[in-house]
Amino acid sequence: MDNIPQTLKYTQTHEWVARESNDVWTVGITDHAQKLLGDVVFIELPAVGDKVIINKEFGVVESVKAASDLYAPISGEIVAINESLVDHPELINQDAYQQGWIIKIKPQAPEQWEQLLEAQAYSQKIS
């Protein structure tokens, strides 16, 4: 059974989003996504300060099976990246929602929060 925390929001492209505050949203990929990918071997991260645009690529996650684009759930600026993923990409497999977080974004249009999927909708999507 996939782990889909109720407190988070989700994208159609399998990213999760946590609203730490109005100014910081944390983004990762879901438990479901990491299971599909298999062992994650590398992650291509953006740089702090880069601008991201909603639904556009901001990085690539590589597993032994595939290389997949990561899509921004919101437009804004990167304020932090999870540097421990550089040496330990397996954190995404082990702990997708905590230690496996990928980036933190300062949102440009916080109302975009409303367009994200609730846990239940995401659960339906992947079932």
Partner 1 sequence: MPFIPHTESDIQLMLQEIGVESINSLFDEIPSALMINDMPEIPMGLNEMAMMQLMQSRAKQTMELQCFIGAGAYEHHIPAAVWDLTQRGEFLTAYTPYQAEASQGSLQLMWEYQTMMASLMGMEISNASLYDGASALAEAVLMGIRSKSKEVKPCVWIASNIHPFYRQVLHTILKPHAIPVKEIAYDPTHGVVTLEALETQWQQEKSLTVLVMGQPNFFGRLENVDTITDWAHEKDAVVVGVVNPIAMSWLKPPGQWGKSGADIACGEGQPLGVPLAGGGPYFGFLCSRMSLVRQMPGRLVGLTQDQNNQPGFTLTLQAREQHIRRSKATSNICTNQGLLVTAATIYMSLLGPQGLKQIAQQCYLNHQVLVQQLLAIDVKPCFVGEHFHESVWQLPADVNKVLETLCEQGIAGGFNVSPYYPSLENALLICATETKSSEDIEHFVKMLNAAIQRSHI
Task: Give, in order, the Cα–Cα distances in Å from 9 to each of 63, 82, 98, 119, 127.
Answer: 24, 19, 14, 6, 17
Closest CB 10 distance from partner 1, rounded Å: 24
∠ Cα 118 121 127 (to 5°): 135
- Which listed residue (20, 64, 87, 127) binds partner 1 by CB under 8 A? 64
Closest CB 55 distance from partner 1, rounded Å: 17
Comparison of 75 and 123: residue with beta carbon closer to partner 1: 75
- Which listed residue (48, 53, 66, 109) binds partner 1 by CB under 8 A? 66
Comparison of 51 and 106: residue with beta carbon closer to partner 1: 51
